[in-house]
């Protein structure tokens, strides 16, 4: 179990992470979602022991993580900037990773480098944005670290390379179970990989739930204006659109089969709300204003 207790991270007068409390069971793929400036990287830095929290503690199985070699050597934190020297060659970067990571698989790293067309003889400074992202992916996956954190590492990769990455991540996770945390803006692309989701908003945890629970949490209802209004009465409306006499609303509600049957008989149609759509609705400024009313 990974435990975050009252974790706060401040930069001067700016509060990046605000009193976060989380229990993260290990052996799962997590998605950490949040808008720009929500505090995701600051939270992950504290979780990976890259930064001491201003307040609060991070514990792994009850042991404090910060400056604890036994914990840190089993944690791999890959940021989009890559914490490697630009002057080093790719083969040297991979070799050093092998020295540092007890679970490092050199053969798997070589296979991934081939897959992503990484030239081992090139210096990091000569790599394109996409190849730098690929190098981060290789470092993260081949580490086989019990806690592997990928902080938007793969955003520079093109669509084909990202698809290869998702396939490799899932296959290697199934073969070598561990805890993987993905911080991403590409929610729709990774949604099927995620087992649990944490949504961060302005430094606070807005939601922490099983991904399957979120996939069935919301529903989109479309139909005649007055019929939709009657059906939605008493339920939290996340979004709505109207055109002529037709209205579509997104509800934060999981209706029972009888409710759906009743709505369909009245001329309504129903559609699912994906994790990305739910995230957009929950973190939109309009929802914040609604919460304050």
Q: Convert the pLDDT of each residue in 168-214 to its tens digit.
A: 999 999 999 999 999 988 888 899 999 999 999 989 999 899 988 88
| Co-location of 86 and 126 in the same domain | yes
> How many angstroms separate the CA atoms of 113 and 93, rounded?
12
Indicate whether 251 belongs to any domain: yes
This prediction has a pTM of 0.86
Q: Which domain holds residue 112?
A: 2-213
Buried/exposed 234-264: b ≥16 CB within 10 Å, e otherwise: eeebbbeeeeeeebbbbbbbebeeeeeeebe
- Domain termination site, one of 213, 235, 261: 213
Note whether residue 196 is domain-resident.
yes
Q: What pLDDT score was predicted for residue 286?
A: 60
How far is the C-alpha of 101 from the C-alpha of 94, rounded, in Å?
10
Beta bridge partners of 199: 33, 207
Q: Show the tokens assigned to 272.
A: 């699912």
Nearest in space to 160 (alpha carbons), one of 125, 189, 183, 140:
189
pLDDT digits (tens, 9 = 90+) for 78-87: 988 888 888 9
Task: Determine the pLDDT at residue 290.
Answer: 53
What's the total number of domains in the chain?
2
Task: For residues 67 and 49, give the distance between their C-alpha atoms in angstroms, rounded to a whole number.
Answer: 7
The pLDDT score that the predictor gives to residue 289 is 45
Measure the CA–CA gap between 185 and 187, rounded to whole angstroms: 5
Q: Which of 206, 208, 185, 184 is nearest to 25 (CA)?
A: 208
Q: Which of 117, 148, 132, 45 is nearest to 81 (CA)?
A: 132
Return the SS3 of 238.
strand
CA distance 199 to 196: 10
63 and 100 belong to one structural domain = yes
Say if residue 284's pLDDT is above 80. Answer: no
Q: Which residues on adjacent β-strands are paired with residue 29?
A: 180
> Mean pLDDT score of the chain, rounded to an integer?
89
Asked whether residue 237 falls in the same domain as residue 193, the answer is: no
Cβ–Cβ under 8 Å, residues 168 and 115: yes
Decide: helix, strand or coil at residue 136: helix
What are the residues facing 7 on neighbouring strands? 20
34-83 tens-digit pLDDT:
988 888 999 999 999 888 999 999 998 888 888 888 888 889 999 888 88
Specify if 284 maps to a domain. Answer: no
Tell me the C-alpha to C-alpha distance, in Å, between residue 66 and each of 75, 114, 117, 155, 288. 11, 35, 36, 28, 34
Is residue 123 predicted with pLDDT exceeding 50?
yes
Q: Residue 281 domain-assigned?
A: no
Q: Write the CATH number for 148.
A: 3.40.50.300
Distance CA 261, CA 265 (A): 6
Residue at 290 is within a domain: no
For the domain that residue 223 is a member of, what is the CATH number?
Answer: 3.30.70.260
Query: Are residues 223 and 205 located together in one domain of the fold?
Result: no
Identify the CA nearest to 124 among candidates 84, 82, 154, 86. Answer: 86
Q: Domain check: are 198 and 230 in the same one?
A: no
pLDDT of residue 293 exceeding 70: no
The answer to whether position 248 is within a domain reads yes
The string of pLDDT tens digits covering residues 124-170 is 999 999 999 999 999 999 999 999 999 988 888 999 999 999 999 99
């Amino acid at each position: 179990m990974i435990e975050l207790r009252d974790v706060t991270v401040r930069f001067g007068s700016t509060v990046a992470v605000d009193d976060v409390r989380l229990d993260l069971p290990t052996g799962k793929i997590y998605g950490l979602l949040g808008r720009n400036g929500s505090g995701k990287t600051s939270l992950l830095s504290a979780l990976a022991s890259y930064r001491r929290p201003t307040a609060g503690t991070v514990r792994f199985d009850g042991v404090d993580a910060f400056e604890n070699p036994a914990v840190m050597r089993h944690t791999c934190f890959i940021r989009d900037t890559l914490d490697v020297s630009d002057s080093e060659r790719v083969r040297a970067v991979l070799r050093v990773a092998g020295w540092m990571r007890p679970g490092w698989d050199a053969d798997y790293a070589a296979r991934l480098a081939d897959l992503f067309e990484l030239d081992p003889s090139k210096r990091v400074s000569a790599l394109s944005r996409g190849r730098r992202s690929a190098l981060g992916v290789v470092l993260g996956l081949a580490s086989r670290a019990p806690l592997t954190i990928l902080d938007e590492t793969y955003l520079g990769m093109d669509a084909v390379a990202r698809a290869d990455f998702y396939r490799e991540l899932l296959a290697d996770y199934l073969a070598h179970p561990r805890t993987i945390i993905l911080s991403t803006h590409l929610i729709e692309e990774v949604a099927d990989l995620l087992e649990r989701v944490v949504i961060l908003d302005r430094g606070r945890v807005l939601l922490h739930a099983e991904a399957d629970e979120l996939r069935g949490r919301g529903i989109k209802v479309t139909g005649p204006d007055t019929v939709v209004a009657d059906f939605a009465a008493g339920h939290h409306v996340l979004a709505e659109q109207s055109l002529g006499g037709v209205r579509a609303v997104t509800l934060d509600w999981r209706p029972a089969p009888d409710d759906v049957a009743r709505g369909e008989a009245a001329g309504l149609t129903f559609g699912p709300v994906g994790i990305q759509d739910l995230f957009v609705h929950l973190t939109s400024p309009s929802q914040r204003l609604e919460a304050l009313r």
